[in-house]
């Protein structure tokens, strides 16, 4: 009674299919989970009669084979995109594409779609669920530039020193506006001041003296500072206006040689802009309206954009790139091996990882403040569960029927 053993293979196959469905349903709320699908295949066939060719007046005959049951041919990982769930947490990041985050435990590298990140005691960006470091590229702490020559291999971790990292920015541009009196007599002096910052964030006062010359529409411009070295001449130049009172020499280069730089870059060079200054008949009221230098500030927060670039916000209002998250792409992502805890490992079927930055090819963009939910479709899973249950039930009936046939055979003699 081969049918008994055939029914057993059907029971085993359907039980394994139920196991796959159960795992899908159990992980319906698991972040970044990819559902599985069991595919059946015929196990074996016993050939009772081989195929024969046409001969004489007889035609060809097909082979006569008896199936010996079913088995699971494959359990596929369905790598479709899951829906995004808004969390409001900037350290939660979802991938909109086919890429994977790279994690490291210091020895081995893993892959995940779970973008629930956090900072550890050493200010490293880590996976909140596993504690593993998120891999990427660290930016230069001074320039904020991510080195492109390191884009092939990510660093071991990304450090985001909240409350620790401090920066300052030297002034490079100072802008002035308002008016110089066109009716002023030669020798008239208009004074104005501005405050600028050196490379260490120290503040310095810059005094500008604008002196009307004997030549029409011209004012001599001289810069000085109480912090400047008196032995070094101050910056000087001339502002020239046209007949309509519009300036034709809108910029003036400041070079301030500091008396006590204290380790800051000296001279302090900046460009003074008088593009918004006019010379019209009216009161002189030139004043500085903006400058781009900043005093010392401490890193207080950060954000992650769609390209994986991590930008820090400092208490002085400065923004600087701190690093960039990397992604891994695969020729066959369904060939990855599950390693537990929502982690994956590469395999010979998946092919090697191609390390890229987000928004490259089909790796996908990142969405900060979101998490990718499981791609399990409960309606489909329940429908599959019903069909699989019926298949299991039908195979059990095959075994029962075969048993009854054996029972009938044993009772023939009676």
Cα–Cα distance measured from residue 379 to residue 374, given in angstroms and rounded to the nearest whole number: 14
Q: Which of 176, 238, 175, 173 is nearest to 211 (CA)?
A: 238
Chain segment 119-130, per-residue pLDDT in tens:
999 999 999 999
- Give the gyration radius of the chain's Cα atoms: 38
Nearest-angstrom CA–CA distance, 194 and 286: 11
| Cα separation values, 342 from 34, 281, 320, 379, Å | 9, 74, 32, 23
At residue 301, does pLDDT exceed 90? yes
What domain range includes position 7? Answer: 2-47+64-79+375-410
Average pLDDT, the chain: 93
How do residues 326-343 score in pLDDT, each as one tens digit?
999 999 999 999 999 999
Q: How confident is the model at residue 2 (pLDDT cuts 50, 70, 90)?
A: confident
In degrees to the nearest 10, what's the CA dihedral of 306, 311, 313, 314?
Answer: 180
In a domain, 388, yes or no: yes
Q: What are phi and psi of 79, to 5 degrees?
A: -95, 30
CATH number at residue 282: 2.60.98.20
Please classify residue 3 by burial: count the beta carbons closer than 10 Å to its beta carbon, then call 0-12 exposed, 13-18 middle and 19+ buried.
Answer: middle
With residue 197 as reference, give the H or E element that holds it: strand 189-197
Q: Report residue 242 CA to chain centroid gap.
A: 52
Are 43 and 9 spatial neighbours (Cβ–Cβ below 8 Å)? yes
Q: How many domains does the chain have?
A: 3
Check residue 210 and give its pLDDT: 97
Q: Are 134 and 232 contained in the same domain? A: no
Structure-token pair, residue 94: 């979802």
| pLDDT above 90 (res 196) | yes
- What pLDDT shows up at residue 352? 93
> 347 lies in a domain?
yes
Average pLDDT over residues 339-353: 95
Residues 192 and 267 in one domain: yes
Average pLDDT over residues 158-183: 95
52 within some domain:
no
Predicted confidence at residue 337, as pLDDT, reads: 96
pLDDT of residue 306: 96
Strands 343-345 and 337-340: antiparallel
- Please tell me the least confidently modeled range out of 103-107, 143-147, 154-158: 154-158
Cβ contacts of 380 within 8 Å, gap of 6 or more:
none
Q: Are 163 and 181 found together in one domain?
A: no
| 110 found inside a domain | yes
One domain, residues 192 and 284 = yes
- 251 and 190 within one domain: yes
What proportions of the chain, in percent to the nearest 5, are helix, strand and coil? 15, 45, 40
Residues 139, 282: one domain?
no
For residue 414, the model assigns a pLDDT of 65
Q: Quote the pLDDT of residue 1.
A: 73
Place of tokens 């506006």: 177
Rounded Cα–Cα distance for residues 312 and 162 (Å):
9
- The predicted-structure confidence for 230-275, as pLDDT tens digits, reads as follows 888 889 999 999 999 999 999 999 999 999 999 999 999 999 999 9
Asked if 276 contacts 176 with a C-beta cutoff of 8 angstroms, the reply is yes
User: Three-class SS of residue 34?
Assistant: coil
Examine residue 55 and state whether it is found in any structural domain, yes or no.
no
**Chosen domain end from 276, 292, 308:** 292
pLDDT band at 135 (very low <50, low <70, confident <90, very high): very high
Q: What is the pLDDT of residue 154?
A: 62
DSSP-derived secondary structure letter, 333? G
């Amino acid at each position: 009674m081969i049918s008994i053993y055939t029914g057993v293979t059907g029971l085993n196959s359907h039980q394994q299919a139920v196991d796959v469905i159960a795992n899908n349903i159990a992980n319906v709320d698991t972040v970044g989970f990819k559902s599985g699908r069991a595919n059946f295949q015929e196990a074996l066939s016993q050939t009772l009669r081989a195929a024969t060719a046409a001969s004489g007046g007889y035609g060809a005959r097909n082979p006569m084979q008896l199936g010996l049951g079913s088995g699971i041919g494959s359990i596929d990982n369905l790598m479709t995109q899951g829906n995004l769930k808004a969390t409001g947490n900037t350290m939660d990041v979802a991938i909109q594409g086919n890429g994977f985050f790279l994690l490291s435990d210091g020895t081995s590298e893993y892959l995940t779609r779970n973008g629930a990140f956090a900072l550890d005691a050493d200010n490293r960006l880590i996976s909140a669920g596993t504690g593993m470091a998120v891999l990427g590229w660290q930016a230069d702490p001074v320039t904020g530039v991510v080195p492109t020559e390191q884009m092939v291999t990510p660093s071991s971790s990304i450090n985001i020193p909240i409350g620790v990292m401090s920066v300052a920015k030297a002034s490079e541009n100072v802008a002035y506006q308002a008016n110089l009196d066109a009716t002023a007599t030669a020798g008239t002096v208009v004074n104005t001041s501005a405050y600028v910052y050196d490379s260490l964030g120290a503040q310095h006062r810059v005094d500008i003296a604008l002196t009307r010359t004997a030549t029409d529409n011209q004012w001599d411009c001289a810069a000085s500072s109480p912090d400047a070295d008196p032995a070094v001449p101050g910056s000087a130049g001339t502002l020239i206006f046209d007949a309509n009172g519009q300036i034709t020499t809108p910029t003036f280069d400041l070079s301030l040689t500091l008396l006590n730089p204290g380790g800051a870059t000296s001279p302090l060079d900046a460009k003074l802009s008088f593009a918004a200054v006019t010379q019209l008949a009216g009161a002189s009221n030139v004043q500085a309206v903006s400058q781009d230098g900043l005093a010392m500030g401490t890193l207080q927060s950060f954000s992650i954009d769609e390209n994986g670039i991590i930008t820090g916000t400092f208490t002085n209002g400065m923004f600087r790139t701190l690093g960039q998250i990397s992604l891994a792409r695969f020729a066959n992502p369904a060939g990855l091996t599950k390693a537990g805890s929502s982690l994956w490992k590469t395999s010979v079927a998946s092919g090697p990882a191609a390390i890229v930055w987000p928004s490259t090819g089909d790796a996908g963009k990142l969405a900060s403040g979101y998490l990718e939910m499981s791609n399990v479709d409960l309606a489909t899973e329940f429908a599959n569960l019903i069909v699989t249950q019926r298949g299991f039930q039908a195979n059990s009936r095959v075994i029962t029927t075969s048993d009854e046939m054996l029972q009938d055979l044993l009772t023939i003699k009676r």
